[in-house]
Amino acid sequence: MFSYVLKTLWRHRTRTLLTVTGAAVAMFVFCFVGSVQEGLRRLTTGSDANRSLIVFQENRFCPTSSRLPEDYARKIKKVPGVREVMPIQVWTNNCRASLDIVVFNGADPEQIQKTRPISLTSGSWQQFASQRDAAIVGRNVAKRRDLSVGDQFSIGDLSVSVAGVFESSVPSEENLIYTSLLFLQYTRGLDAAGLVTQHEVLLSDDADPDHVASEIDALLRSGTVATKTRRKGAFQANTLSDLVDMIGFAHWLGYACVGLVLSLVATTTVMSVQDRIKEYAVLQTIGVRPLRALRLVLAESTVLCLVGGVIGTAAALAVLAVGGFAIGAEGATIAFRPSLELAVTGTIVSLIAGVIAGLAPAVQAATVPIVNALQQA
């Protein structure tokens, strides 16, 4: 009797269309909020976040305020468990939360190529390594700023030549611009010769991250600048602490969207059942059992919710794929990226919401008193 359900929905096509549209908008917002939460989880968990350390100046927050001697890398490398140390100079156009943050990471080009999970989609590693003011640009930054190989990109006191565009298996990497360390150290106005923002420490497989971190801080305590060393994930979570709180609040917005879908579809289904109460009585008189009537109404609400949810989820995934959105603060960025998990979650939530929304009107249709209903005008 699925064709009967479809004919019933088509009979009130305007109401059906409005309900499907409302469900699609609500699920669009739900999936967008979910992508932000996924981006934060990817940034603060995983092997990259837990198996590497960030050495930062103690009691400093914005990258522009952390100034560590580049020579610390030589001392850090002697600590047991350290596999490699990469000095990084960070420059950002905005230390506050922004949807269009630009973050430069200056490091040794050979180390970048060896340690970073990136691959060039266009351009040349050789040009990047041989030209001091060359830069390789993350795919999302290139998309937002309309950059391609050979372009000149300027922001603030920095002006670089785009030597390549890269993609990465780590979404946050695609919101960075990499330059040589010397370029950022000797850029006019930065005054950072011999200094770096942080040291990124890659650990051996058998090293204990927390133990190595405490050893590094103890070793450098007698140096000119005190340090605070943390796992990369913990460092980024602390850096984005204000955004973490905001994203946690947005979690409730996702729940509110699901509640909106439930309310909207339930209201539409109740109206549909009340308009056709006599019809359900007739169905029972010709042999349709109450359980079959209940399933008909549940199918109606589920179709409404599932169609709207799939449309909203698909639209959100498409916008996320094309937009390359990210939000960042203090040099760390959260990338919004579509995923299979997000698509499955949106579809399952729509399905469950449709079933729940139809329960009350389905029971009403299944238990309608036949005589009273047939007497209605």
| pLDDT, tens only, 226-260 | 899 988 888 877 776 667 777 777 778 888 888 88
Q: How far apart are CA 163 and CA 142, in angstroms?
A: 12
Domain-located, residue 341: yes
CB 217 within 8 A of CB 34: no
Helix (H) / strand (E) containing 83: strand 82-92
Residue 279 burial (CB < 10 Å; 0-12/13-18/19+)? middle
Residues of the chain with pLDDT under 70: 1, 46-48, 95-99, 189, 240-242, 275-284, 286-288, 290, 329-331, 368-377
Could you say which of 225, 253, 279 is where a domain stops? Answer: 225
* 207 and 253 inside one domain: no
Backbone angles phi, psi at 332, to 5 degrees: -110, 145
Q: How far apart are CA 304 and CA 4, in angstroms?
A: 14
* 250 and 344 inside one domain: yes
Domain-located, residue 118: yes
Residue 278: the pLDDT is: 67
Residue 181: the pLDDT is: 92
Q: What amino acid is encoded at 256 in this protein?
A: A
* 356 and 302 inside one domain: yes
* 74 and 23 inside one domain: no
* 63 and 204 inside one domain: yes
Could you say which of 174, 193, 225 is where a domain stops? Answer: 225
* 96 and 160 inside one domain: yes
The residue range of the domain holding 21 is 2-43+242-368
Residues 111-125 have pLDDT tens digits of 999 988 899 999 999
* 146 and 202 inside one domain: yes
Residue 377: the pLDDT is: 45
Q: Which of 123, 104, 173, 163 is nearest to 337 (CA)?
A: 173
Q: How far apart are CA 208 and CA 107, in angstroms?
A: 25
CB 101 within 8 A of CB 136: no
Q: Which two tokens stand for residue 267?
A: 């209201």
Residue 295: the pLDDT is: 80
pTM score, whole prediction:
0.76
The set of residues, in sequence order, having a beta carbon less than 8 Å from that of 215 and lying 6+ positions away, is 79, 80, 81
Domain-located, residue 53: no
* 191 and 83 inside one domain: yes
Domain-located, residue 331: yes
Helix (H) / strand (E) containing 240: none
If one counts the domains in the chain, the total is: 2
Residue 122: the pLDDT is: 92
* 14 and 143 inside one domain: no
Residue 268: the pLDDT is: 83
Could you say which of 191, 225, 259 is where a domain stops? Answer: 225
Domain-located, residue 373: no
Residue 97: the pLDDT is: 61
Q: How far is CA 49 from the centre of its chain?
A: 16
Helices 2-11, 13-44: inter-axial angle, 10-degree rounding: 110
* Strand bridging mode 158-168 / 134-138: parallel
Residues 316-337 have pLDDT tens digits of 999 988 877 777 766 677 778 8
* 71 and 36 inside one domain: no
* 174 and 254 inside one domain: no
Residue 323: the pLDDT is: 77
Domain-located, residue 230: no
Domain-located, residue 136: yes
Q: How far apart are CA 357 and CA 265, in angstroms?
A: 6
Residue 232: the pLDDT is: 85
CA distances for 360 relative to 1, 4, 273, 354, angstroms: 21, 20, 10, 12
* 9 and 84 inside one domain: no
Domain-located, residue 231: no
